[in-house]
Amino acid sequence: MSNELNSTSLDTLAGALAYAMGIEPPAHAAAPNEALCAFVDEKLGGKKADRIFMYNPDAVAEWIFRKYPQLMKEAVAATELELPMQTVMPSVTPVCFGTMYTGAQPAVHGIRKYEKPIITIDTLFDALIRAGKKPCILSHSAKSSMSNIFNGREMMYFVGNTIEDANAKAAEVIIRDEYDFVVLYNGNYDSLMHKFGPESLEALTELRCNVRTFGSIVSLIKEHWQQHNVLYGFAMDHGCHLIDGDCGSHGLDMPEDLNICHLYGVLPAKK
């Protein structure tokens, strides 16, 4: 396990996603991630994506990704770009997703600890709506950060009672092809990691479920979004580490919690 921190900040992502769709970035977004922008340009021949799907599993650390490649192989096989990044401090879910979808550091977007207020600064969702795009967020718990911190926008929100509810709704959304920017949040690995530890059978089983869910959604995208230029990502918020009692945690200024590795793929529209 490396003791070095990834050099690229998570705050570069929102600007790159805006660039991929050809829209203005959120007002406080950092400069867009150069590697992701170049990847989109290369794969789409300079054209823009008109659909983006973001799968947001919670707490999948880069060290877990590197240590258990057999569990990640379906997600790796479905994508072409590995994007190592350093998430923000404190490395807890609302803080990190706040940065992911505003492009701003926590001091700017306003969430600086584990709390879930509605973010009031400009977000990627606001930028999408201004550009005439239709975003949606799907999650499985009314208590989750993604079910709360971006509320109040003129967009679609779905909160299921279970992971299965959210994933089934995501499949429906892909098949109906009514939204331009689709976010699906799954917190099952995080939940079991906290209880049993990052490398427990229970937690790694949920990671396998995350990877299979992502693979299934990508298969649906290939079938039902063929007429679109599509960017899709396996994009976690932060990492995790083992603590006393064989439990898991995150939130510290350490590589285990801060280093993450997103995976991205592009599907050009079929002619």
The CATH code of the domain at 10-266 is 3.40.720.10
- Per-residue pLDDT tens over the stretch 98-118: 999 999 999 999 999 999 999
pLDDT attached to residue 226: 98
Predicted pLDDT at 271: 77
CA 184/CA 182 separation, integer angstroms:
7
pTM: 0.97
66 contacts: CB under 8 Å, gap ≥ 6:
261
Given a cut of 80, whether residue 1 has pLDDT beyond it is: no
Classify burial at 69, counting beta carbons within 10 Å of its beta carbon; exposed 0-12, middle 13-18, buried 19 or more.
Answer: exposed
Mean predicted confidence (pLDDT) in 156-163? 95
What is the rounded CA–CA span in Å between residue 108 and residue 119? 10
| Angle, vertex CA 138, rays to CA 233 and CA 234, nearest 5 | 15
Average pLDDT over residues 7-28: 99
pLDDT of residue 228: 99
